[in-house]
Each structure stands twice: as structure tokens, then as C-alpha cells.
Amino acid sequence: YQYPLMFGLILAFCWCSLVCCSRIYMGMHSILDVIAGFLYAILILLIFHPVVDLIDNFNLTYKYAPLIIISLHLALGIFSFTLDTWSTSRGDTAQILGCGAGVACGSHVNYILGLQLDPAPHTLPLSLSSLTVTAFGKAILRLLIGVIVLLLTKVAMKKATIPLACKMFRIPQGDVRRARQRMEVELPYRYITYGMVGFSLMFIVPCLFHFIGLS
């Protein structure tokens, strides 16, 4: 979409500031952590921005891309952590990796089925349409339906994955909170649950919108 550059810069600055300040306010990170993370994000951007189109094309078009994406993200979640004591970091990382894998797989399925294709280059950049009561109402309805579907997906997968993981690894289910802190339960629960949330976001919810005429 075509929008004023200053508007984009202000929005990006405000969002970045809110995320950074929330980490400090919640006591999750120090100021030095946030500064290091910000600089690290810039480094990642400089490295991956030139090849982002190649990665995106691979995710969409390569036949075995979903298998590679799932395996790579799962391996990163398993081998990136060795904790002396439990912390939220491992679960949060698995959650992010799972969601990313789900989004990538959902995009792949959309491409294979010919759904939600990118607009033709000659039509870009798109201009923002005027805001009408009808458009605003449809946007709110899409938001409510989408959030409900994603929450139901999360609850259903949570109910299924935690008992299954406990059964597979013979972990007592009496104290669910304690069981969830075990790596054998935490990683599959977070990865599978939020993988399905990401997949629903990219594929199931848009298909539902198309079916009920909210696309």
C-alpha cells in the first residue's frame, strides 16, 4: 500500500518503543538487553533483507519446503536451550518458532492451491481505500471472527498436546503447571499449539472469510 513515509516511520518508532519499554517495565530484560537486542535486529535485517525474496520464493514454491521449515524450526527449539533452572525463555522461543513455521506452511498451502496470490506488479503500489461504515463494520467482524477462531484453535491444541506429551514421556499429569515446565512437554505443547495458530491465521481463517463473504 502507498502511504506517507513519515507515517510509517512514526508507527515503526512507536511500536518499537512500546515493545522495548514493556520488556523493561515487566522486568524481563535490562536496558542493556534491549539495546543489544535492537542492534542485533538491525544486524539480522542487514543480512537477510537482500535474500528475503529468495527465501520467500523457496517457502512458497519448493515441494518439500513445509517439511524443511518444520524440521528446522523444531531443531532450533530443541538444541538452542540448556537450562539449569526453568525459565519462560525456552517456551517463548518454541512459541515463536512454532508460529513462524505455521505461518510459512499456511502461505505455502495458499500458494499451491492458488489462493491469496500476490497482486500483479503493474497494480502496485496499492492505494488506501476510503473508510466507510460498511468497510469498518466488515473489518470489525473479520477481527472478531478471526480472534475467536484462533482462540478456539489454541484451546483445542492445548487440551490435546499437553496430555499427549505427558503420556508419551510418562510424566505425571496431576500438576499440569509443573508438567508444562518439563522440556518434553513444554516444547511440543508450545510448538504444535502455536504452529496451528499460525497455520489457521494464514489459511483456515482466510478460507472461512471467503466462504462467508468477508474477503
Model pTM score? 0.84
Cα separation, 202 vs 153, whole angstroms: 13
pLDDT at 30: 92
Q: 70 or 181: whose pLDDT is higher?
A: 70
CA distance 15 to 68: 32
DSSP state for residue 172 in the 8-state scheme:
-
Contacts by 203-206 with C-beta closer than 8 Å and gap 24+?
203/106, 203/109, 203/110, 203/115, 204/106, 204/149, 204/153, 205/145, 205/146, 205/149, 205/150, 206/110, 206/115, 206/116
What's the CA gap between 9 and 13, in Å, rounded? 6
**Cell numbers that stand for 199 in this block:** 497455520
Closest CA to 73 of 188, 186, 154: 188
Between residues 171 and 149, which one has the greater pLDDT? 149
Domain boundaries, the chain: 1-49, 65-212
Measured distance CA(53)–CA(50) in Å, rounded:
8
pLDDT digits (tens, 9 = 90+) for 174-190: 888 888 888 888 889 99
Kindly state the helix (H) or strand (E) to which residue 150 belongs, with its residue range.
Answer: helix 133-168
C-alpha cell at 187: 516444547
Q: Quick one: pLDDT at residue 209?
A: 92
Banded model confidence at residue 215, pLDDT cuts 50, 70, 90: confident
pLDDT at 196: 97
- Between 154 and 4, residue with greater pLDDT: 154
pLDDT of residue 81: 67
In angstroms, the CA 90 to CA 95 distance is 9
